[in-house]
A and B are shown apart, each in its own frame.
Chain A
Amino acid sequence: MSQAGKALNILIYAAIFILLEIAALAMLKSSSSLQNIWINRASHRTMAFLWSHGEKIRYRFQLQEINERLAQENFLLNQELRAYRASDTALLKKGIEPYKEADGFRYIPASIVKMSRNTAHNYIILNKGSDDGVTPHSGIITSKGVVGIIDAVGRHYSYGLTFMNNNVSISARVKKNGVMGPLAWDGKRRNGAVLRDLPLHFEVNQGDTVITSGISTIFPPDIPLGTIGESKTVNGALHFTAVNMFQDFSSIKNVTIAINTGREEIESLEKKEEQ
């Protein structure tokens, strides 16, 4: 038998061995709770190892693209900064104190430890937790838009639901005319979303930009999300509009957590009002 044939045979035997071993471990898992916990723990460790190394390899291959994007972003930010400085200097020369608006959010950079992309309820784990000041219901964003919402926080890690999750909906606004509606993942494409419940008397055109509305306490306002795609009318009264998101979920490594510094106050006001 040739070397290739032998190698193929060994692979087939190894596959049968693995299958039978999995069957045996599955029986063992269901027959004892102690072994069940042990096998689950071992499986989680293995998966975490494979995931983290897979992500590292993927990240390595994307480094050049990420660097180019960062350089571009850096250039744009510098340009914006120069414009602000020029405008501030002009105001100061006229004896006017420049107006500085605080958006009420604190930002923490974070890296993705794990992120699922292939289910209807995708999630994300970030390497920042309560020790870093992360709180539940904070937004996860990048320069290209919204990634998700923090759901639970541990000391060193936080768990969030990504936008590619049927349970996540964010408040969005069409930049051109200010009309608002809930934006949710379309459940099909990685960059596909649906903007619902837009009143018919507002005109929306393909290519219009969609941004965060700023009326929720989760995301800062005016983050670009995507552009309007095809639109259809539902029940003769509302627009049901497809949105092509800017954010590409297959190539994210670093994100920013946006924490609303005034949330506690807002929530306590809401509670008082409810009482």
Chain B
Amino acid sequence: MKNPELALKYAIFVTAQVLIWNFCDFSQYVMLCFLPALIMYLPINHGYIYSMVFAFAIGFAVDFLSSGMLGLTAAALLPVAFMRVAIINMVFGSELFSREENLSLRKQGAPKMLTCIVLSTALFLAVYIWADGAGTRPFLFNLLKFFLSLGLSSLVSYFVIRILESENR
């Protein structure tokens, strides 16, 4: 990441995620996570390998620093990084890559950005909740947790991206 301001904001948000998971216990049914949004918002010229290694590293860091299980967040974030290009192509079209134009709330609009956030967060939550339950929790519990967490996380992720974009790039 060449932009030091953006790198600093990423570091702050990763720290915030660690603090939230350590100190904010919403309930068994809700989890707040905006890490998928951070993966999606990486500069567009960073390809598959960069985003996957980045996802693995921040997943590992968050797991290591919070009281969660080591490897769980990394395992759930990696599919998001792997599918990042496909999701961006699907939501914003392939022109973004040909023009090397970064994601932007102002240029692409809130609905598209929200769709992108919801898709990436849904992918993350599906893997996370499934692996966290390890087949021991009822399907309906997992489903309820998935939708409640998706709603809250997507909303917070939207504001995270607004902050990332402010006076940036």
What residue in chain B is nearest A10 (Cβ atoms)? B48
B162 to chain A, nearest CB (A): 30
A24 touches B134 (CB 8 A): no
Chain B residues within 8 Å of chain A by Cβ, number: 22
A12 to chain B, nearest CB (A): 8
Does B11 reach chain A (CB closer than 8 Å)?
no
Contacts of A38 in B (CB 8 A): 131, 134-136
B74 touches A27 (CB 8 A): yes
B71 touches A25 (CB 8 A): yes
Instruction: Tell me the dominant secondary structure on chain A's binding face.
Output: helix
New contact pairs (17) apart from A25-B71, A32-B69, CB-CB < 8 Å: A16-B52, A20-B52, A20-B56, A21-B75, A23-B74, A24-B71, A24-B74, A27-B60, A27-B70, A27-B71, A29-B71, A31-B69, A32-B134, A34-B134, A35-B131, A37-B134, A38-B135
B53 touches A28 (CB 8 A): no
Contacts of B156 in A (CB 8 A): none
Instruction: Tell me the dominant secondary structure on chain B's binding face.
Output: helix
Q: Contact residues of B with A, CB < 8 Å?
A: 48-49, 52-53, 56, 59-60, 63, 69-72, 74-75, 78-79, 81-82, 131, 134-136
B71 touches A31 (CB 8 A): yes
A219 to chain B, nearest CB (A): 43
Interface residues on A, range: 20 to 34
Known pairs A34-B134, A34-B136, A38-B135; A28 contacts B48 (CB<8 A): no
Does A84 reach chain B (CB closer than 8 Å)?
no
A35 touches B56 (CB 8 A): no
